[in-house]
A and B are shown apart, each in its own frame.
Chain A
């Protein structure tokens, strides 16, 4: 297995890309979509272990940071959902030119699952998606984030928490150090995976017992399958440690179930 970390210019923006290339490729490429906010840090080890395990199966695995996040260019406040969509086609072109894959699978975690699914709509060649703990309802996710922010301030005894930030004369809402523009907040308010118009895709969801809210995932499956445009399978995984604590957790159960599923399909 060979791993390469590089910066690539896509649509005039600097992107950090981490590629995992197998010694013997099966000509399939899996693109990882990160979660956002502090959830990105929490899944770092899980992502790394899963990417390497998939690579050992023969998949080329691509991990990247959205513009304004992680190692990619741009300040944190420059992250924009519309940029994720506008630059995805450039990323796909880069992957096709570099790895010549016969198939591309999108692998998204939490909010990354939503971004993977929405991006797949404009790419009919993408037939399969693997979503780990997807956010089904953006409005509800915002409510969770706002409650978490208050709980975080309370737990850490932070008194003067500013609800709004002013950066370059633009208003942002602060989420424990991650500023979100009002355009991004409006996008999240409207986002609902159950309303997405996905056609001819096979969606596999991995739902752990570390985060509640199983009903929304089941409703998503029902709504998509009523349209008969795509199939949705849900795998429930006993992995309560998934979010337990930063990188010191054992998420091997979840990785193993994903590997077993991919090996058998």
Chain B
């Protein structure tokens, strides 16, 4: 029973994190996102993300959950980030700090 409860909690958290990441990505891409349907498996390379947009996304996380960049840097493996879901997972992880 405890396990089911925990699972439900994680699902809700991930949905919230996904919405937060979608909002950040939309802000960073500006007008370019109007025709893009952002999904969890959307790849950053497919929506025109470069390293500056990426770092702005990470700085956005800093403001979003009031956590410093050093902590984000310690938790992130840039080589593993391909999709929106990877950043959603990172945000969920950071929220537990």
User: Which A residue sits closest to B58, measured CB to CB?
Assistant: A147
Contact in complex: B59, A155 (CB < 8 Å): no
In the complex, are the beta carbons of A155 and B58 less than 8 A apart? no
A225 to B60, CA, bound (A): 27
The answer to whether the Cβ of B65 comes within 8 Å of any Cβ in the partner chain is no
A210 within 8 A of B: yes
B27 contact from A152, A176, A240, Cβ within 8 A? A240
A154 touches B52 (CB 8 A): no
Closest-by-CB residue of A relative to B28 is A240
Q: Which residues of B lie under 8 Å from residue A214 when comparing CB positions? A: 63
Is A144 part of the contact surface with B, judged by Cβ < 8 Å? yes
Interface centre among A42, A151, A211, A245 (most CB of B within 10 A): A151
Give Cα distance in the complex from A241 to B58, angstroms.
17
Whether the pair A152, B51 counts as a contact (CB closer than 8 A) is yes
- A171 sits at the interface (CB 8 A): no
CB of A264 closer than 8 Å to a CB of B: no
Number of chain B residues whose Cβ lies closer than 8 Å to a Cβ of chain A: 28
Instruction: Give chain B's interface secondary structure class.
Output: helix
A151 touches B56 (CB 8 A): no
**Residue among B51, B55, B56, B81 with the highest chain A CB neighbour number at 10 A:** B51
B54 near A144 (CB under 8 angstroms)? no
Q: How far is the CA of A152 from the CA of B53 in the complex (A)?
A: 10
Instruction: Decide if the interface of chain A is mainly helix, strand, loop or mixed.
Output: helix
A213 touches B62 (CB 8 A): yes
Q: Which of A193-212 contact B (CB under 8 A)?
A: 209-212
A155/B44 in contact, CB under 8 A: yes
Q: Is A140 an interface residue (CB 8 A)?
A: yes
Looking at the complex, which one of A151, A153, A154, A241 makes contact with B55 (CB distance below 8 Å)? A151
Cross-chain contact of B51 among A176, A209, A213 (Cβ < 8 A): A176
B76 at interface by CB-CB < 8 Å: yes
User: How distant is the Cα of A193 from the Cα of B79 in the complex, in angstroms?
Assistant: 32
B34-53: contact bitstring with A at CB < 8 Å (1 yes, 0 no)?
A: 00000000001100111111
Find the B residue at minimum CB distance from A210. Answer: B56
A20 to B73 CA separation, bound complex (whole angstroms)? 42
A144 nearest CB neighbor, chain B only? B55
Distance of A143 Cα from B44 Cα, bound (Å): 21
Interface residues of A in 228-261 (CB under 8 A from B): 240-241, 243-245
Choose among B29, B44, B45, B76 the residue that contacts A147 (Cβ–Cβ < 8 A). Answer: B76
* Other-chain contact of B69, A140, A176, A241 (Cβ < 8 Å): A140
Complex CA distance for A154 and B58, rounded to whole angstroms? 15
Q: How far is the CA of A212 from the CA of B28 in the complex (A)?
A: 11
CB-defined contacts of B55 to chain A, threshold 8 Å = 144, 147-148, 151
In the assembled complex, the Cα of A17 lies from the Cα of B52 at a distance in Å of: 28
Q: Is A223 an interface residue (CB 8 A)?
A: no
Are A155 and B30 touching (Cβ within 8 A)? no
